[in-house]
Amino acid sequence: MIVTVIASFFIALLSGLGVGGGGLFVVFLNLFTDTPQLAAQGMNLLFFLFSSGSAVCVHISKRQILGTAVLTMILFGIAGAVVGSLLSNVVGQALLRKAFGVMLIVSGMLSLRKKR
């Protein structure tokens, strides 16, 4: 339990630095705690709420948030969550894990390419 708390703290710290801590959290849960993929992704959503709260407060105080953009993202986020939830009941866990791994690799490669 204490290892998970410490790992979560450091992953949240990396997330605050822009490393993409949510993906790290899912990988940690899968590899070191044997948490099923769907449960790990659900925990990741809860983790994201807490780890991003301070960033939202800073951006609101600096007036860097566009209301129309937020509303658009909320609507598409809700639609994506509903579709993803329905698909997760149809797609097997093994395929879901592989797809998530591929998404992390592609995302990492794009991030590295963008920084050059």
Mean pLDDT of 13-38: 78
How far CA 110 is from CA of 16, 67, 74, in Å, comes to 19, 28, 24
User: Whole-prediction pTM value?
Assistant: 0.47
Residue 77 gets which letter from DSSP?
H
Per-residue pLDDT band for 78 (boundaries 50, 70, 90) equals very high
Residues 6+ away with beta carbon under 8 Å from 28: 7, 11
* Spatial separation of the C-alpha atoms in residues 42 and 32, rounded to whole Å: 17
Angle at which helices 37-61 and 93-115 cross, to 10°: 40
Q: Which of 8-12, 63-67, 77-81 has the highest mean pLDDT?
A: 77-81
CB atoms inside a 10 Å sphere around CB 27 = 16
Asked if pLDDT for residue 100 goes beyond 90, the answer is no
